[in-house]
Amino acid sequence: MDISKFIENTLMENKDAIYEMLNAVNIELSNIEESFVNGHNIFEEKISNLEIELDELKSEIESKSHLADEMTERLEDIYRKYNADEDDIIQRIETKKEQVNVGNHKINREKWEPIFRGFSEWIADIPDFVQENDMYLDSYVNGCNVVGVSCTENTRTLTEKGFDDFDVVIIDEVSKATPPELLIPLIKGRKAVLVGDHRQLPPLFNEHEKSYFELVATQEDEVLPGEFQLSKDDFEKYKDMVTSSLFQRYFENGSQEIKHSLLIQYRMHSDIMDIVNFFYDGKLKDGAKNPDAAMHKAHNLTIDTIVGTEMIIPKRHAYWFDSSTLRGEKIFEQRKKGSTSTENILECYMILELLKKMEFKYANQNIERPVSVGIISFYFDQVKSIRNVIKEEHFHYINIEINTVDRFQGKEKEIIIVSLVRNTKSERRSIDSHIAAFQRINVGFSRAQNLLIVVGASEMYANQPVMLTDMDNGEKKEAFVYKEIIEMLDMKGTYYQSDDIITDVVADEVFESIKEMEVKNQ
């Protein structure tokens, strides 16, 4: 059979099937073509959308770039203004975030106080409340696991409530506690944590104008009526108890494994810290370096001398005003007849003039509250004299507290003025004197937060030795701390004379007051 005829017959027999298959192929090709066209259109649409998004991103990037440049300029201004770096700014932001988070969770007192007060009154009206309260209060107290009490509290206060001992006893301000005061708290705990600063004042049995060394020397010559006589034998026997704290002895002799010093301080401006660091072996560090903290430490005072030259300025925070002379005449300390204390009339008037200038400056500022000012002296007669000198003045923009350094321990003020008082005619300087106790000097100077002003006779204090001890081992060394402070402040341009703030009219008042006291003492 012819092959061509065979193929022809086969095609004819399967004609319908072939037509059907070809038709299916055509349909499929049409579908493919349509899909391709639709896909191409979709692709082009996506490309178009992406181009639009790209343009929008380019516009946003350009906008962000301008914003970034603006923020960079602002940050550079902040760096220059506050002498800050990037880490300081980041820390400030984190601090603000924490403050906001805390603030969001604070209870609105005005909203909740009436509710709590009403609930308290409702409870008080319940019959037999007082009797039941006493019963349940004991149960509540017995269930407490943290108890606060003073070292000198009657032990029955604890034992009657079932507190015979504790896992841990924490004693705060331990450097001011006497050994007998520490005894009961220490035996109540299986573990004791002592917290204190042995660079400040030791325990005080009675507030004296003199050191215990001076007190003994005075009583050898004269026993004042009604005053207890402390003999040298008694003094030597109990010297450790009245001149240093038990905590100081334990800390200086303790192993490094059981003691630690917290040396980052946030209270005072770094200018003030530089002075206080003389009493901490130079180990204190300023923890408030960020711009926000720097603003909080600003005293915002600009005070000129009486002739109009620059004196107290915002960027300086520690000053010394010399009371050695007035109008070229030496001014010595005064003492009332029959008194064992000391005062200095010139320093009283110097402080008064500074306070009046501060009041005037703050009155011209939009301050929300009065600025706290502490006036500290080592002698109570000087405290009384300062109070007497300023009592006729009215201060609305500064809130003033005047007291001895012993009474200021534990306190702090935005501005501190220290009156050193002493200026003797004798050139003899004792290392055991009241003004040479470094703990007392430290407390006086370290109360200041934003501004420290020392008023004292530099001619005397520059030659006054001070006995310092090593923070860690108690090793003693003699140093002229006052002299170093005076020289440091002089180099910074913050050392001034009484004539810089005392006018001729006020100077006449000072000389007249001194003469009046001399007449009364005759």
| Residue 491 pLDDT | 96
Q: How far is CA 275 from CA 196, 324, 415, 422, 446, in A?
A: 21, 21, 15, 20, 9
Cα 270 from chain centroid?
A: 11
| Residue 221 pLDDT | 42
Question: Where along the chain do its domains lie?
Answer: 15-79, 88-124, 264-521
| Residue 486 pLDDT | 97
Residue at token pair 């820390």: 91
| Residue 431 pLDDT | 85
| Residue 296 pLDDT | 76
The pair of three-digit structure tokens given for residue 255, joined into one six-digit string: 């192993």
User: Residue 312: phi, psi to the nearest 5?
Assistant: -85, 125
Consecutive 10-residue runs of the chain (522 residues): their mean pLDDT? 63 67 70 64 71 78 75 70 63 62 55 80 75 74 88 87 91 85 90 92 60 54 51 66 71 88 92 96 86 76 95 96 96 89 95 96 91 95 95 93 90 96 89 88 96 97 94 90 97 97 96 92 82
| Residue 5 pLDDT | 67
- Among residues 435, 437, 359, the alpha carbon closest in space to that of 398 is found at 359
| Residue 452 pLDDT | 98
**pTM (predicted TM-score):** 0.70
Max CA-CA distance within the chain?
166
Number of H helices, E strands in the chain: 19, 16
| Residue 235 pLDDT | 65
Q: How far is CA 20 from CA 8, 12, 457, 476, in A?
A: 18, 13, 123, 116
C-beta of residue 438 within 8 angstroms of C-beta of residue 468:
yes
Specify the CATH class of 264-521 in words. alpha beta
Cα 394 from chain centroid?
A: 29
DSSP bridge pairs for 419: 377, 455
Q: How far is CA 433 from CA 233, 427, 466, 477, in A?
A: 19, 14, 9, 16
